[in-house]
């Protein structure tokens, strides 16, 4: 399983727009992708300008296929355009209580 974590540094006052775009644009697009398992969006407790996107796929190849799909650009841009910057990190998960 592969989990992509993206730390989002959100423009002032744009958090609710990101949340809306995540629900209305990003989730419908990513849910149709082969290997998609889960997506979550959260807010940092100590910093209102920081959010976290968690995206889980069965394999890294399937995650990369999503990135290269025609649906990815508009879905991701609806979030990224509201950020000052963002930091993505991919993780391969090989052990855990639920595995």
Encode pLDDT of 34-90 as tens digits: 999 999 999 999 998 999 999 999 999 999 999 999 999 999 999 999 999 999 999
The per-residue pLDDT for range 14-25, each reduced to its tens digit, is 999 999 999 999
Domain ranges in the chain? 2-92
Between CA 25 and CA 18 the distance in angstroms is: 10
Going by CATH, does the domain composed of 2-92 fall within 3.40.640.10?
A: no
pTM here?
A: 0.91
pLDDT of residue 99: 56
State the sign of the Cα–Cα–Cα–Cα dihedral 25, 31, 32, 33.
positive
pLDDT of residue 96: 75
Are 84 and 12 in contact by the 8 Å Cβ rule? The answer is: no
Between CA 41 and CA 51 the distance in angstroms is: 7
């Amino acid at each position: 399983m592969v989990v992509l974590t993206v730390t989002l540094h959100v423009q002032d006052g744009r958090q609710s727009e990101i949340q809306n775009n995540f629900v209305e644009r990003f989730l419908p697009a990513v849910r149709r992708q082969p290997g998609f398992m889960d997506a979550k969006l959260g807010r940092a407790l100590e910093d209102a300008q920081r959010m976290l996107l968690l995206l889980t796929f069965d394999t890294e190849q399937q995650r990369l296929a999503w990135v290269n799909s025609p649906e990815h650009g508009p879905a991701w841009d609806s979030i990224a355009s509201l950020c000052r910057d963002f930091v993505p990190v991919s993780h391969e998960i090989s052990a855990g209580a639920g595995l």
